[in-house]
């Protein structure tokens, strides 16, 4: 496969190269792309040096697959230009996710929506992604009526600027407002503000959780509300998820279903202080679920705690899994 990575110098781009190498993804030619300021930089992959190129030269090379992780505006501008030359684009940004023509895919959950005709495929938002694995299996079993989600999202999800801000604040240094990713300190703080506010007082991350969940689970009837919080945590995103089911459930059956699901590891031995944490989830591809318990305040209510490495399953790993799915199911030549 001739593979292009657009955003190869970014945080997700970096993890992408690691994941492609670990999983031995079949690459015959690798094209690394970043913004104008990085053209000419050298990045090594599996012991070979690659020179960072412009998007235009990557389009001319007509790769089989282009994985985008370079922000919404870059995807908006270039994804269709790649698709026009026959490249399958797997896009990590939010730009195309809610487009009716573009599948939004977590392979273990809804890989079956992919077809040979899809030249533009979206990767879900990191906080949506990790909860899709447990929610899909529970929705199938007991039918989800309503979700109340509170996230504790790692600053790494905001990209390089956020990491620079965190590191500077940790050392007691102050960056200029332009250099900062957030309007408040992130070190030793938490911000109930992920993405941008819209006119309704919700943030873009909160809206993404609602809309993307409904699209991936193919069910617009699920009532969903969310509060997304950015925390000074490295390693992964954590989520407290309160679920109201339409049907009665058995707690042991819930745990069994989660334990039997591909990509999920249940860590739920509270008597021995066993539950998922972002430090433990760091650098792993699975979604970790724990604190699984009944919500006694409503009929058919369940609480759980879901953690995953936001740069791996939440971003890089899922894009590579989509590419692998296309190959395995012969949806790409
Ligand atoms: P660059 O490093 O040259 O700015 P992050 O989300 O970690 O901040 O990374 C964003 C990634 O997207 C980087 O690799 C960045 O390259 C890349 N990028 C940003 N704008 C463009 C663009 N217009 N064309 C190609 N790549 C871009």
Distance 77 CA to ligand 1 centre (A): 13
Give the whole-angstrom CA distance, residue 58 versus residue 41: 15
Task: Determine the residue of 6, 7, 82 to mutate for testing ligand 1's pocket, defined as the one with the most ligand atoms within 8 A of the Cβ atom.
Answer: 7
| 333 is a domain residue | no
Write out the DSSP string of 139-157.
HHHH-EEEEEEEEEEEGGG
Task: Look up the CATH number of the domain holding residue 32.
Answer: 3.40.50.720
Cβ(303) – ligand 1 distance below 6 Å: no
Write out the DSSP string of 231-261.
ES-SS-EEEEEEEEESS---HHHHHHHHHTS
| 299 is a domain residue | yes
β-bridge pairing 223-231 and 237-245: unpaired
| 82 is a domain residue | yes
The reply to whether the predicted model has a pTM over 0.85 is yes
Does 333 have pLDDT greater than 80?
no
Cβ(114) – ligand 1 distance below 6 Å: no
Distance 56 CA to ligand 1 centre (A): 14
The secondary structure of residue 119, as a DSSP letter, is S
How many folded domains does the chain comprise?
A: 2
The 10s digit of each residue's pLDDT in 181-228 is 999 999 999 999 999 999 999 999 999 999 999 999 999 999 999 999
Same domain assignment for residues 76 and 110:
yes
| 288 is a domain residue | yes
State which residues form the domain around 214: 127-310
The 10s digit of each residue's pLDDT in 102-122 is 999 999 999 999 999 999 999
Cβ(13) – ligand 1 distance below 6 Å: yes
Please calculate the CA angle 82-128-247 and round it to the nearest 5 degrees: 135
| 193 is a domain residue | yes
CA-nearest of 139, 65, 27, 46 to 332 is 65
Do you know the residue count of the chain?
333
Cβ(6) – ligand 1 distance below 6 Å: yes
Same domain assignment for residues 138 and 202:
yes
């Amino acid at each position: 496969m001739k593979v292009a990575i657009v955003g190869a110098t970014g945080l997700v781009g970096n993890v992408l190269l690691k994941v492609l190498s670990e999983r031995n993804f079949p690459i015959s030619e690798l094209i690394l792309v970043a913004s104008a300021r990085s053209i000419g930089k050298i990045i090594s992959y599996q012991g070979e040096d690659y020179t960072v190129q412009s998007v235009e030269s990557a389009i001319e090379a007509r790769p089989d697959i282009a994985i985008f992780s370079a922000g919404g505006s870059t995807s908006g501008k270039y994804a269709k230009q790649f698709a026009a030359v026959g490249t399958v684009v797997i896009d990590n940004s939010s730009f195309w996710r809610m487009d009716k023509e573009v599948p939004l895919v977590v392979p273990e959950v809804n890989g079956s929506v992919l077809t040979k005709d899809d030249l533009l495929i979206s990767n879900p938002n990191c906080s949506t992604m990790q909860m899709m694995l447990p929610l899909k299996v529970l929705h199938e079993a007991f039918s989800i009526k309503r979700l109340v989600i509170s996230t504790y999202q790692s600053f790494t999800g905001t990209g390089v600027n956020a990491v620079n801000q965190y590191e500077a604040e940790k050392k007691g240094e102050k960056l200029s407002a332009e250099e900062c990713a957030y309007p408040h300190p992130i070190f030793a703080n938490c911000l109930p503000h992920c993405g941008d506010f819209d006119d309704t007082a919700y943030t873009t991350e909160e809206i993404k959780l609602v809309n993307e969940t409904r699209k991936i689970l193919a069910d617009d009837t699920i009532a969903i509300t969310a509060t997304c919080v950015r925390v000074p945590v490295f390693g992964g995103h954590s989520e407290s998820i309160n679920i109201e089911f339409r049907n009665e459930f058995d707690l042991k059956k819930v745990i069994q279903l989660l334990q039997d699901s591909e990509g999920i590891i249940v860590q739920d031995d509270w008597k021995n202080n066993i539950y998922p944490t972002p430090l433990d989830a760091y650098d792993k591809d699975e979604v970790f679920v724990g604190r699984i318990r009944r919500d006694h305040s409503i009929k058919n209510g369940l609480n759980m705690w879901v953690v995953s490495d936001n740069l791996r399953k939440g971003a890089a790993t899922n894009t590579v899994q989509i590419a692998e799915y296309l190959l395995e199911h012969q949806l790409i030549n």
